[in-house]
Amino acid sequence: MSAERERLLEVRDLQVRFKMGKKQTELVAVNNISYDLHAGEALAIVGESGSGKSVGVRALLGLTAENGKVTNGTALYKGEQNLLTMSQGRLNRLRGKDIAMVFQDAMQSLNPTLTLETQLIEHQIWHRLCDHTTARKRAIEMLGKMGIPKPEQRIHAYPFELSGGLRQRAMIAMAMVTNPVLLIADEPTTAVDVTLQRQILDLLADIKAEGTAMIMITHDLGVARDLCDRVEVMNNGEIVESTDMTNFLSNAQHPYSQKLLAATVEVGDVVDEPDNGDVKASGEDGPSDEAPVQSGSVQSGSVQNGSGEGGSTAPEPADVVLKAVSVSKTFHPKSGVVHAVRDVSLDLHRGETIGLVGESGSGKSTLARIFLDLIPVTDGVVEFGGKDLVQMKPAERQDLRHDMQAVFQNATGSLLPHYTVLDNVIEPLNIHHVGDPASRKARAKELLTKVGVDPKRGHQYPRQFSGGQQQRIATARALALDPEILVCDEPTSALDVSVQAQILDLFADLRSELGLTCLFISHNLAVIEKVSDRVAVMRHGWIVELAPTKELFNNPQHPYTRQLLNAVLPVRRDPQQFDNAVPEPTEDENSELVEIAPGHLVRQSIGAATEVPAA
């Protein structure tokens, strides 16, 4: 579609090698990749970690790490100048002027000790674009254009004085202030929450609409789809597929592309599927790949009664295994007070999975730690099996640990680094004095097999395993004591999509096989939809909406839930219209959860008419 346009960049046979470790082992990070970029076009380079996607693009600008070297290839800019062989001086005249770059995290890519003013002006001067006064004027203009309010004041700010969103915008303004022909964006939204991600991408879309060509490096197909015309799929340093975006989505040819697409979990996958036949009592259900999790009517039926919370009566107590009543947690760091969790009431029924979703700082992980009895509550009661946690005797509390286990986000960090894998899995059995050494070892080997780790590798250390395998090991450890409840705190967030899919499948299998009750925390709505029976949406420490999964995703009521859902960038569907304005927080001391439909609770202001919107 862009064949007639000017060719901006022709990369041919680019190869980058790295020397690794003490022995200087050679590693080919990028292996003979070739692609074209035309003026005004947006190209996505997608791949998982270690695919070489970032290294390959950085090499074009001479930003290869010191232990790396471009060993082959050409990169023609505008058909004549080879970026890879030109002198440092000539390259410097292009970098930052014709070709600008933004990175993942604005906090790290802006110099913390210089004001925005210095950082937005300096390269205009370096490239002799204008004098200092004009440069300053242009910087202020650009900040305003990127959606930063009061730019003439904000320009005096240091990066740390800005909020995360403004910082990200300032970084893009810095790249755009020289009016470049090509903008390279290296995972520019990976470090930010979904709503901000959407705002940033809309900003980039505006920039693209004005004619700037773009290379977007990302692992997120949704992001790529939203912005880019063409896509290069990279795996192990090679481009495995090169096509335009629509073709890629509908008709990907390479097995790796297909795998990547199939592994992508997204909102709507579950809801759209017919689920009439799904009946689930307490996990006799066999493992199923596609829809392992039920949002079926039987389950939500039992939920409806249970979640008639917010003051009303509880169901048969035997059914509720874990219960929070008006739980609050307040931290007192050096500066001020942080209300991490506020007035949260939640019941966990036997065999169900509750998804806890929210952006960073919403209090979801704090809530998990409260349930795990790792931190005490400031206010409220947590009941386990009908007993108040605070009033439990130490021995009872220790039993609770026995019955409730956790899997954390950082598998590498959550395994004992100085213990072998087998010893790691045995450790909970040691702590709770279960069995004798021989039986413990046998149990650990059995568990490793169950989670898909070869028990023959049990004598190795966690760091010798890949991230996905480490999460499997951590899961085996969590299962060692045969717990009733499993708390999963972002267990797949640090993993690549293909690995994430495997781990989610593993969880689904285990849950149905063992009848586990789960509290599953994630910032990723698609993952939450996939695993949960009920979903609680958190913001600023409050639960703003709580509903059966299908109900929540089909009929979201709270403005924040809606905004979260709108912000999602699907791969297989069209994204929804997104309103930049963040909804005013309705949650405060004067609000309460109101049941607007059976089992569907929404936070509303007290006094506001309890209008039940049409479902």
Partner 1 sequence: MVRFTVHRLVRAIITLVMVSLLTFVLLQLAPGNFADLSAITSGATMTAQGQRDEVMSSFTARYGDQVPAWQQYLIFMKGAVTWDMGPSYKYPSLTVEGIIAGAFPVSATIAVLAVALALLVAVPIGVLAARRRNGWLDNLLMFLVTIGNSVPNYLMGAFLLIILVGRLNLLPSGGWDGPLNMVMPVIALAIGPMAVLARYVRSAVIETLREEYVTTAIAKGGPGRTIMVRHVLRNSLIPVVTVVGPIVASLMAGTVFIETMFRIPGLGQYFTGAATSRDMPLLMGTTLFFAALLVITNVVVDVSYGILDPRTRMERRPA
Partner 2 sequence: MTTPEMEATIDDNPVPESVAEAPGGGQQGQWRLIWRRFTMNKLALVSLVFIVLLILAAILAPLIATHDPLYLDVSKSLLRPGHENHLLGTDVLGRDVFSRLIFGLRTALIVGFVAELAALAFAILIGLVAGYVGGRPEQLLMGFTDVMYAFPGYLFAVILVTVMGRSVLAVILAIAIASWVGQARLVRAQTLTLKGRDFIEAAQAMGAKGPRVALRYILPNAMGPILVATSFGIPGAIATEAGLSLLGLGVQPPTPSWGSMLTEGIAYTQVAPHLMLAPAILFALTLLAFNWVGDGIREAFDTTGRAQ
Strand partners, 230: 43, 244
Strand order in the sheet with 534-539: 404-407, 485-489, 517-522, 353-358, 534-539, 542-548, 600-605, 591-597
- Distance (Å, whole) CA 108 – CA 104: 8
Q: Which does 62 bind (CB under 5 to 8 A by kind): partner 2, partner 1, none?
A: partner 1
- Distance (Å, whole) CA 503 – CA 475: 10
- Distance (Å, whole) CA 358 – CA 297: 25
* Residue numbers 469-508 binding partner 2 by CB under 8 A: 474, 477, 481, 487
Q: Which does 580 bind (CB under 5 to 8 A by kind): partner 1, partner 2, none?
A: none
The span of 206-214, 260-268, 288-296, 428-436 binding partner 2 (CB under 8 A) equals 428-436
Can residue 21 be called a binding residue for partner 1 (CB under 8 A)?
Answer: no
* Residue numbers 522-581 binding partner 2 by CB under 8 A: none
- Cα-trace Rg, the chain: 26
Can residue 154 be called a binding residue for partner 1 (CB under 8 A)?
Answer: no
Of 168, 170, 164, 165, whose CA–CA distance to 115 is shortest? 170
Can residue 83 be called a binding residue for partner 1 (CB under 8 A)?
Answer: no
User: What string of DSSP letters covers 230-261?
Assistant: EEEEEETTEEEEEEEHHHHHHH--SHHHHHHH
Q: Among residues 258 and 398, whose Cβ is nearest to partner 2?
A: 398
What is the maximum span of the chain, computed from C-alpha positions, in angstroms? 79
How many residues sit close enough to partner 2 to count as binding (CB under 8 A)? 58
Can residue 49 be called a binding residue for partner 1 (CB under 8 A)?
Answer: no
- Distance (Å, whole) CA 314 – CA 246: 51
Can residue 101 be called a binding residue for partner 1 (CB under 8 A)?
Answer: yes
- Distance (Å, whole) CA 45 – CA 248: 12
The span of 122-130, 211-219, 283-291, 442-450 binding partner 1 (CB under 8 A) equals 122-130
Q: Among residues 22 and 393, whose Cβ is nearest to partner 2?
A: 22
Of 537, 124, 191, whose CA–CA distance to 367 is shortest? 537
Give Cβ neighbours of residue 431 (< 8 Å, ≥ 6 apart). none
Phi–psi pair at 337, nearest 5 degrees: -130, 140
Q: Which does 334 bind (CB under 5 to 8 A by kind): partner 1, partner 2, none?
A: partner 1
Can residue 122 be called a binding residue for partner 1 (CB under 8 A)?
Answer: yes
Q: Which of 109, 304, 405, 557 binds partner 2 (CB under 8 A)?
A: 405
Residue 10: half-sphere exposure toward Cβ, Cα within 13 Å: 9
Instruction: Please state, in angstroms and as integers, the Cα–Cα distance from residue 347 to each residue in 315, 317, 321, following that order.
Output: 10, 10, 8
Q: Which does 9 bind (CB under 5 to 8 A by kind): partner 1, partner 2, none?
A: none
CB 64 → partner 2: shortest distance, Å?
A: 8
Q: Among residues 158 and 461, whose Cβ is nearest to partner 2?
A: 461
Can residue 94 be called a binding residue for partner 1 (CB under 8 A)?
Answer: yes
Q: Are 355 and 552 in contact (CB under 8 A)?
A: no
Can residue 435 be called a binding residue for partner 2 (CB under 8 A)?
Answer: no
- Distance (Å, whole) CA 515 – CA 89: 65
Q: Are 173 and 1 in contact (CB under 8 A)?
A: no
- Distance (Å, whole) CA 2 – CA 9: 13
Can residue 23 be called a binding residue for partner 1 (CB under 8 A)?
Answer: no
Q: Are 527 and 269 in contact (CB under 8 A)?
A: no
DSSP 8-state class, residue 286: P
Q: Which does 29 bind (CB under 5 to 8 A by kind): partner 1, partner 2, none?
A: partner 2
Q: Which of 61, 76, 314, 514 binds partner 1 (CB under 8 A)?
A: 61
Q: Are 247 and 526 in contact (CB under 8 A)?
A: no
Using CB under 8 A as the criterion, what x/- string covers residues 357-396 for binding partner 2?
---------------x-x----------------------
CB 171 → partner 2: shortest distance, Å?
A: 16
Can residue 338 be called a binding residue for partner 2 (CB under 8 A)?
Answer: no
Q: Which does 374 bind (CB under 5 to 8 A by kind): partner 2, partner 1, none?
A: partner 2
* Residue numbers 212-251 binding partner 1 by CB under 8 A: none
Q: Among residues 11 and 174, whose Cβ is nearest to partner 1?
A: 174
* Residue numbers 277-336 binding partner 1 by CB under 8 A: 334-335
- Distance (Å, whole) CA 578 – CA 341: 28
Q: Which does 92 bind (CB under 5 to 8 A by kind): partner 2, partner 1, none?
A: partner 1
CB 369 → partner 2: shortest distance, Å?
A: 8
Strand partners, 597: 600
- Distance (Å, whole) CA 366 – CA 105: 24
Interacting residues toward partner 1 by CB under 8 A: 61-63, 66, 88, 91-97, 100-101, 103-105, 108-114, 118, 122-123, 126-127, 158, 160-161, 174, 334-335
Interacting residues toward partner 2 by CB under 8 A: 18, 20-23, 25, 27, 29, 49-50, 52-55, 58, 63, 65-68, 104, 372, 374, 398, 401-402, 405-406, 408, 410, 412-420, 422-423, 427-428, 431-432, 458-461, 463-467, 474, 477, 481, 487
